[in-house]
Amino acid sequence: MVSEYEIKKQICDIGKRIYDRGMVAANDGNISVKISDNEFLCTPTGVSKGFMTPEYICKVDAKGNVIQANGNFKPSSEIKMHMRVYEQRPDVKSVVHAHPIYATSFAIAGIPLTQPIMPEAVIALGCVPIAEYGTPSTMEIPDAVEKYLPYFDAVLLANHGALAYSDSLLAAYHKMESLEFYAELLFKARQLGGPKELSNTQVERLYEIRRQFGLSGKHPADVCARNKNGETSCHNCGACNLPKTEASDSDLVAEITKKVLASLNK
Ligand code: 13P
């Protein structure tokens, strides 16, 4: 089994990678790893993720409360966003949040990454929606990303950055890297007159390859509502096809019941 110290070192390595690749500026970004059902390692708030040593890494419980932290280090101000991912996606073992230039530019322009332009991006990422804007460090961001979590392994955060998660730290980092590479290609192709998109049939064949590989995570190839209805995926479900969540249905039923009871009591 990999020791906790080893995982802390790996978090520092990935922190250096995202910093060196310009995916974060100054003290931006945060990383976490699930080590047990109620124990998570995370980067501290307010430090450059490019210069961390294992002593910097904090340990929190599933509610984001500190279990262990050295000196003045406190867990990332965005820990609640990470915890919402773990809560909604038991398959996820690591979460990476960064502000890569191209992906964040799309998030600022309000353009989701949904154009099918190259096979690797279609297979690895599917499409990447934009979660509504929320103030960093508040519950607004976890609340905004929640509805996308069952359907996507990466989400842009409006006017802010990107969130990627997977079943290992390296896989979560790779998702972030693929997302940024895809955003850069899309940006440059748009400058060259616009990308020639893959056709629905070509996309469907790539989805089939992904299914054959049995890749983990959530992807339109497996969860797209249109696909499930036997239709061709538009590869453009920047949430247009998200089914209503159970929570919103039950909220509605509760609201109607309340109104009926109130009118009976009049
Ligand atoms: P932390 O340093 O608190 O993790 O915050 C960095 C960040 O990028 C907030 O969005």
HEC secondary structure over 151-173: CCCEEEECCCEEEEEECCHHHHH
**Ligand 1 within 6 A of 48 CB?**
no
Whole-number CA gyration radius for the chain: 20
Active site residue 78: yes
Each residue's pLDDT expressed in tens, for the chain with a length of 266 residues:
899 999 999 999 999 999 999 999 999 999 999 999 999 999 999 999 999 999 999 999 999 999 999 999 999 999 999 999 999 999 999 999 999 999 999 999 999 998 999 999 999 998 899 999 999 999 999 999 999 999 899 999 999 999 999 999 999 999 999 999 999 999 999 999 999 999 989 988 999 999 999 999 998 888 776 666 666 555 555 444 454 444 444 445 555 665 666 666 65
| Pairing mode of beta strands 161-166, 30-36 | unpaired
Of 55, 78, 177, 208, the active-site residue reads 78
* Distance of CA 27 from the midpoint of ligand 1 (Å): 7
pTM of the model: 0.88
Q: Are 155 and 241 in contact (CB under 8 A)?
A: no
* Beta bridge mates, 75: 44
**From the CA of 91, how far away is ligand 1's center (Å)?**
24
CA of 19 to the centre of ligand 1 (A): 13
Tokens encoding 7: 């995982």
